[in-house]
Amino acid sequence: MAAAARSQVMSLYRTMLRESAKFPSYNYRNYALRRVRDAFKANRNVEDPKAVERLMEEGRQTLALIQRQDLTVIVPSTLTLKHRVK
Amino acid sequence: MLASGRTVSSRLLRPTAWLPLRLSSERTAASSPQKELIKKHEQDELRPLYMDFQATTPMDPRVLDAMLPYQVNYYGNPHSRTHAYGWESESAMETARKQVADLIGADPREIVFTSGATESNNMAIKGVARFYKAKKRHVITTQTEHKCVLDSCRILESEGFDVTYLPVQKNGLLDLELLEASIRTDTSLVSVMTVNNEIGVKQPIKEIGQICRSKGVFFHTDAAQAVGKIPISISDWKIDLMSISGHKIYGPKGVGALYVRRRPRVRLEPIQNGGGQERGLRSGTVPTPLAVGLGAACSVAQKEMEYDHQRVSMLANRLVQKIMSEIPDVIMNGDPEQRYPGCINLSFAYVEGESLLMALKDVALSSGSACTSASLEPSYVLRAIGADEDLAHSSIRFGIGRFTTEEEVDYTAEKCIEQVRRLREMSPLWEMIQEGIDLKSIKWTQH
C-alpha cells in the first residue's frame, strides 16, 4: 500500500475509534470500539488499491453513522426510581 | 482511558462499578441541556447487566439510523399510489422486504410483514389448517414449542381439528422416526421451532423438511430465535412457512415477518381482513419505519453473522467453563452439540431458581421465557425434556448477544458461583448430600 494511502487509513482508524468512544451506553461503546478494531485487523493485509478504496468508503460511511448515533442519550421521562437497582 | 474515576457513592450503588461505564472525557464539551441528559443517563446506567438476549435485544445503532428518517420526514403511507410520499415509503418497504428475503434465501414476494413472530405463528398455523380443512384435519407440533404455537393449536382443537403434540427426547430434540410415524393422510401441517427459546437446542430442520416434503405435508418453523444467528436456507431445508421476529435480532419491537412459499404454493386463510395489503394475507398499513428496521436488522445480521457467532460462542464457553469448573452438580439442559451457543440453560441442583434470581438481582436473567416468567411453575419445556421437578425448579437461562462484553460474562459467572455456594450452604438438601444420603430414598411426609 502506498504511504499516502496508509496514512489515510490510519487517520480514519483513529477517528473511528475516537468517535466510537463517545457512545454514552457502555455496551454500544464497547461494541463499536471492538468492531472497528476487528474490522481493520481483518483487512490489514488488503493490498489491491481498488479494494482498499472500497473499504475506505465503507469506513467513511460507518464513521458518519457513528457520529449520527453516538449522541443518542435518551431516557424515558416516565422512568421512576423504583425500577432501578438500589 | 474510558474508566475515569468513579465516585465512591456510585461504587456503593452499583456492585458492577468497576466496569468502565463512565463516559469519556470528550463528553464534557457537550452543551448544558445535553449534560443534564447525560447525568440522567448515568443514573439510568445503574441498572443491572443485561443477560437475557432471548427475551429481547437492544436495537443496533445501525438499525435505528435506518429507521429515523421514516419516523419523521418520510411519513407517507406505503400503500398510497397517488403521490411521492407514498412512493418513497413503498420503495423503502420493498427494499426492506428484499433484505429479509436475502437473509433466508427467499424471494421478496414470499415475505409478509406482520407485528411479530406471535402473529406470524398464529397466521401460519391457523391459516393453513383452516384453508385446507375440507380435506385435512390434523396438525402436528411438539411439546417444547413457544406458547403462541401451542395456544394456536388449542384453538384449532376447539374448532374440531386433531392436534398431535409430539414429545421430545431427553436432549430436547425431536425423534424423526416418531414424526414420520405420526404423519397421517389428513395431516395438513407440521410446526417445529428451529431454535428453542428456553434451552437453545437446534432441531434437525433439514431432515424434518425432507420428511414433510416427501409426505406432501406443509412444514412451518418458528425461527424467531434462529434467523440472523445461524445460517438458514429456505430451499435447502424445504421450509414452507417461517416466522421471523424483529426484536430478537437487534431490530425494533412490534414487527416481524412470515415467509410463505410460492412454489409449490402454500395457501392460507388470513386472520386479519381489510384493505388487502400484503397480497391480502395481512390487511393493515405496513408500518414503514418498523419494516425498514426489520430489513436493516436482517442486513446487519447477514453481514455480522460469522463475526457474532464466533464472539457469542467464545463468551458462552467462557461462562460455562467458569461456572462448571467452580461448582459441582450443574447440569446443562438440552443437547450439548445441536444448539445455538448464545442460549445457555443451566440447572443448579439443590438451589431454588427463583432464590438464585433474587440473589443475582444486579444481573438481568430469567428462569425461562419472558411470557411465563411471572409464574413460579417450573418451565413446561424443561418438564418435556424429562428434567426432574427439582432440577426444573433450579434452572436459569443465560442469554448472550452481540453487545455482551467479557467483563459482563466474568461478573455474571463470579456472582453466580458465589451465590450458588451461599444458597447451598443454607440448604438442608445440600447438607444431606454431603453426608451421603440419597435424596430419592427419603420418605417425605404425605399430606
B295-304 per-position pLDDT tens digit? 999 999 999 9
Closest to B258 (Cα-Cα) out of B300, B218, B230, B201 = B218
* Residue entry with cell 420526514: B73
pLDDT at residue B44 in the model: 59
pLDDT at residue B156 in the model: 97
Cα separation, B315 vs A8, whole angstroms: 34
pLDDT at residue A25 in the model: 87
Coil/strand/helix, residue A2: coil
The domain defined by B61-300 carries CATH number 3.40.640.10: yes
Does residue B26 have a pLDDT over 50?
Answer: no
Amino acid, single-letter form, for residue B129: A
The set of residues, in sequence order, having a beta carbon less than 8 Å from that of B247 and lying 6+ positions away, is B56, B57, B59, B116, B253, B254, B255
pLDDT at residue A77 in the model: 67
Handedness of CA B138, B144, B146, B150 (dihedral sign): positive
Q: Does A30 touch chain B (CB under 8 A)?
A: yes
Q: Please name the CATH architecture into which domain B305-439 falls.
A: Alpha-Beta Complex (3.90)
Q: Which of A18, A72, A75 lies closest to B44 in CB terms?
A: A75
Average pLDDT value for residue range B327-347: 95
Condensed to tens digits (0 to 9), the pLDDT of residues B367-418 reads 877 766 767 677 899 989 988 877 888 899 999 999 999 999 999 999 999 9
Condensed to tens digits (0 to 9), the pLDDT of residues A59-74 reads 999 999 999 988 766 6
Does residue B8 have a pLDDT over 50?
Answer: no
| Residues of B with a known catalytic role | 371
Contact between B13 and A86 using a beta-carbon 8 Å cutoff: yes
Query: Distance from B168 to chain A by nearest Cα, in Å?
Result: 37
Cα separation, B443 vs B447, whole angstroms: 12
Which of A25, A35, A74, A83 has the most B C-beta neighbours within 10 Å, making it the best mutation to test the interface with B?
A25
Q: Which residues pair with B366 in a beta bridge?
A: B397
Contact between A84 and B61 using a beta-carbon 8 Å cutoff: no
Does residue B355 have a pLDDT over 50?
Answer: yes
Which of A17, A18, A34, A75 has the most B C-beta neighbours within 10 Å, making it the best mutation to test the interface with B?
A75
Cα separation, B438 vs B432, whole angstroms: 8
Q: Does A73 touch chain B (CB under 8 A)?
A: yes
pLDDT at residue B341 in the model: 97
- A-chain CB neighbours of B46 within 8 Å are 84-85
From A82, which residue of chain B is nearest by alpha-carbon distance?
B47
pLDDT at residue B440 in the model: 74
Q: Does A65 touch chain B (CB under 8 A)?
A: yes
Q: Which of A28, A73, A86 lies closest to B61 in CB terms?
A: A28
Condensed to tens digits (0 to 9), the pLDDT of residues B133-147 reads 999 999 999 999 999
Query: Distance from B42 to chain A by nearest Cα, in Å?
Result: 8
Percent of chain A with pLDDT over 70: 78
Contact between A75 and B26 using a beta-carbon 8 Å cutoff: no
Which of A18, A27, A40, A82 has the most B C-beta neighbours within 10 Å, making it the best mutation to test the interface with B?
A27
Does residue A76 have a pLDDT over 80?
Answer: no
Does residue A79 have a pLDDT over 70?
Answer: no
From A35, which residue of chain B is nearest by alpha-carbon distance?
B307
Domain boundaries, chain B: 61-300, 305-439
Contact between B64 and A73 using a beta-carbon 8 Å cutoff: no
Q: What is the 3-state secondary structure (H, E, C) of A12-61?
A: HHHHHHHHHCCCCCHHHHHHHHHHHHHHHHHCCCCCCHHHHHHHHHHHHH
**CA dihedral of residues B294, B296, B302, B305 (deg, nearest 10):** -80
- How distant, in Å, are the alpha carbons of A85, B119, B139, B382 from that of B165? 41, 20, 9, 15
Q: Look up the ipTM and state it.
A: 0.89
* Residue entry with cell 403521490: B83
pTM of the model: 0.88
Average per-residue pLDDT for chain B: 89
From B21, which residue of chain A is nearest by alpha-carbon distance?
A26
- Written as nine digits, the cell of A56 is 475506505
Number of inter-chain CB pairs under 8 A, A vs B: 74
Average pLDDT value for residue range B303-316: 97
pLDDT at residue B159 in the model: 97
